Chain A
């Protein structure tokens, strides 16, 4: 990665009918550009933590442990995809725990812990989450307020409203309907059903962003809103849409987590504030907005699942886990910030040496 291909006309896209080796080389080169270093870091991190667990905490690979890791990673992945949508727009969402907790609470409250009312309760929870997201989006995109302040304040409002509406017990028993609990706790072999849902969400969002014009316009709006506006993209609509979709994803994550725990309480979403931001940062998203790897987000969630399980198995307290999480966020952001600065310096030097060697007679070959 440190050496960039020389930019000369011979490296133009290869027309059809060329020898296959050349075409393979071109394919490889494209792949390198499509998955730059910042997207690859998280895979390395995952390999590292798996090796660490194999060596130091093999208990992490027991079936129950794997199921737990995958279930937690699935919930985190769904919520993190929402956070990713917001971060791609250059925003940040601090209402994740509030919406997740609220959604879980509504499901318990509206269904009164009965299976018969489950569907209705889920619909209510998701619709309310979408409305919260709409308010966030309108305040950020139309009124042009700071995303952080809006979502932080909204988190307070949602927590308050939640207490006023559903109380702190949610229903007489305080448990989710059995159907939801059983569903969320079911596994296919060693893999939690939640992990499959997480993968499904990731695949859908990744395809939307990569292979539809709406998705490409969404990415463009986040990368450079002014330029997107110039070419006629309705940036504000995409911004509002992003916050709405994100809130919907938080709600789904919250409902599944409530099912997994069966007895949700007001701390349900608490860890997901920092963790979703870490997952997004680890996946190589630039926190000022722009393209990001959705698949990388899943990998980051898996990584965080292993980290949490490792720390638990090693008997570290919650303090260590908070400390590790905070440090991970800083490191991830530094890798993107400082790393790209270093890379652009290297690139600059590289170009200069190239220019110098080209001036030297017959010293260079493409």
Chain B
């Protein structure tokens, strides 16, 4: 079985065509634009339509899609050390991927998993950096990894989209695990752990 990759991105149509790999067997692209409605905080994805957002637009498709892929790569403009609004709108509405019930792990409270496995996570930020934004983004990604119970998490920043495109053209995700090392020695490989790389491209 080949790995299945899901790429959530906030690129426009022309940029996506130029820099993202073409979708096909084992690769799903999910554009954050045109943007979906923002999360209402209603918890309907937990207690009304479990596993799926109650708002009836394509944003509701994302949580079930996560469950069908081995790796999720989030391509986002770096905003204050976090995700861009359009990307975050998708992520906010994906908490149906996990259960509402709290469990303790390592003495701290987390939500329980809904699915037997979680995709590995990659955060590819693009655009200008400011101050310690990338470091904040690394901590955000690590928090997400713990909450979504991902086996791995990688964070990288690409000042220009050409570098991003090269990174995405690398090997596909391995089934049930993190992605392979990138070419050219600019790897940001982490297996079962966490890595952060800045200044690629």
Does A associate with B in a complex? no
